[in-house]
Amino acid sequence: MSRETIYAALFAKLAAIPGLKMSSRRLRSYTDVPGQHQPALFMAQRNEGTAQAGLGLPGKRTLRVYVWVYIKVDDHAAIPATALNAWLDAVDLALAPDASGKQTLGGLVSHCWVNGTTETDDGSLDSQAIARIPVEILVP
């Protein structure tokens, strides 16, 4: 399976999260995304690794991406972290396992999941909440 097919399938799943006002595979700085275009989601390829299973056997490839979520809260009484938490849950739901117990992106990959430390800025100082979510894809 081609890398591009896999990345496109992951992005399609994420971009279908209800309520997004902007999504792209081209990362933009939150300063370049006006509040009226948020919540926004961006996906950026990070790196990939290959582990050889043994002599003469095909390697197992892991593709890694970052999913960025931007939430601007204009209501000064609202807590930006509350809105960010809802969007983190929405990304988890979009990548939830299917009937097989794994997220396979429609059978394209062995597994796709959030793996690692999600870094956040809860927007306490300026009402701009940001999350960087690490996603890994295991390719058979």
- Tell me the CATH number of domain 3-139, given options 3.50.50.60, 3.40.190.10, 3.30.70.1700, 3.40.50.620: 3.30.70.1700
Give the start-end residues of each E strand in 73-106. Answer: none
Compute φ and ψ for 21, nearest 5 degrees. Answer: -100, -20
pLDDT along the chain (140 residues), means of 10: 94 98 97 96 95 79 97 85 96 93 94 96 93 96
Q: Which residue ranges make up each domain of the chain?
A: 3-139
Full-model pTM: 0.91
Give the start-end residues of each E strand in the chain. Answer: 22-24, 40-51, 60-72, 111-114, 119-121, 128-139
Compute φ and ψ for 87, nearest 5 degrees. Answer: -75, -35
b/e burial code for range 95-114 (CB count within 10 A of at least 16 → b): beeeeeeebbbeebbbbbbe
Looking at residue 74, its pLDDT comes to 83
